[in-house]
Structure 1
């Protein structure tokens, strides 16, 4: 049996994509959200219309603050581990092979929490629709996607963060 060869573009090994726990959240909200690590697979592939992230959440970590998008859809597939999905209707446990979808504009705020002792891996897919707004019901924060493709964060009242 021969060893597999290194894939040629457009194929690639996700492990070759840098993993980062960077978050664009304002400083006061960063620490709680640096317990998850993303490999930005869609960016690596040059995708423009939607994003694809391989997200690893360490034990005790969360994917983000609970949030809902006004214009962007999200889809999450659990690749490995057991994770708690929190939405407006409560919490439920998802295991490898399960998935969840979050249509834009529903206001159903969601996040994923790792309450186990092992890492969780998620495949997260979302579109990049312009003029998106993100609401965060559990923290005093909101975000608006600017024309430059960068989210601008404010308090719920609109004050800069």
Structure 2
């Protein structure tokens, strides 16, 4: 993840970091859950590059949300108990 302009807060587990233009961060597969949030009133632009090769499910740590790769190759969103979203 690379911040092109503005500033965002990067949340990694229980920690958070203010990220400004020119700063970057990387995340290893199956690592600590993370997300970004723009807490300012100004726009921010980021580039995020990655791959989900051989990934068939993603669980969102702070939300009741799981993304599961369907048989048709498209993501299906479910609650953590398996009920459709």
TM-score, normalised by the number of residues in structure 1:
0.49
Shift of 1:154: 1.2
Q: Could you say which residue in structure 2 is the equivalent of 1:4?
A: none
Q: Distance in 2 between matches of 1:132 and 1:102?
A: 18
Shift of 1:115: 1.4
Larger Rg: 1
Matches within 5 A, 1:62-81: 76-81=1-6
Q: Could you say which residue in structure 2 is the equivalent of 1:119?
A: 43
Higher relative contact order (CA 8 A, sep 6+): 2
- Alignment of 1:135 with 2:59, yes or no, is yes
TM-score, normalised by the number of residues in structure 2:
0.86
The structure carrying a bigger helix percent of its residues is 1
Q: Distance in 2 between matches of 1:148 and 1:95?
A: 39
Q: After the TM superposition, list the runs of 4 or more consecutive aligned residues in structure 1 that deviate by more than 3 angstroms.
A: none
* Aligned CA-pair RMSD: 1.5
Q: Which runs of 5+ in 2 are unaligned?
A: none
